[in-house]
Amino acid sequence: MTTRTPAYPTEFRFYAPIQIRYGDLDTLLHVNNVAVMQYVEMARTQYYAASGIWDGKVRQGFGMVVASVHIDYLKPITFQDREVRVGVMIGHLGSRSLRFRFQVESRGGETAFARGEAVMVAYDLEAGHSVEIWPGWREKLAAFEGNPALLKRA
């Protein structure tokens, strides 16, 4: 496990509850790192819906692709934990990318199991290149996060 402890918020505006499945465990009987990444992905897509920026449909070839993911694993998650929650927030909003910060925690938030960042790039699937973030997203994300600084273009 890593000892790196970057500054993370003590609370996120958005949390996604995740049920731990027996199939998420590896031979060491803790949740496998791949399953943790799946938890983060589920939480991120739930964040999209909750913030109002995406309803799960691709329109006009628009989508988002993963540019990078970094996860620090702090403590093992076991089957006895039963459920975790993943806090998600916008760490930075660029002109073509969104940097999400996340933390996988115990159900009540007492224990942090993993944390990191995922960078998503707005992408035109038909044209095959990155594009500007859709108009209106900045406003929706700033309102959802309660962070007017997100309105400024980076």
Domain residue spans of the chain: 14-151
CA–CA distance, 130 with 105 (Å, rounded to integer): 32
pLDDT per residue rounded down to tens, the chain (154 residues): 444 444 566 789 999 999 999 999 999 999 999 999 999 999 999 999 999 998 877 666 668 899 999 999 999 999 999 999 999 999 999 999 999 999 999 999 999 999 999 999 999 888 899 999 987 899 999 999 999 988 887 6
Instruction: Please write the tens of the pLDDT for every residue from 70-91.
Output: 999 999 999 999 999 999 999 9
Residues 2/72, Cβ–Cβ less than 8 Å:
yes
Task: Give the pLDDT confidence score for residue 2 in this predicted structure.
Answer: 47
Residue 134's Cβ-side half-sphere holds a number of Cα atoms within 13 Å equal to: 16
Residues 130/67, Cβ–Cβ less than 8 Å:
no
Please tell me the pTM assigned to this model: 0.89
On whether the 14-151 domain is CATH 3.40.50.10300, my answer is: no
Token pair 């803790």 is at which residue?
A: 30
Residues 88/145, Cβ–Cβ less than 8 Å:
no
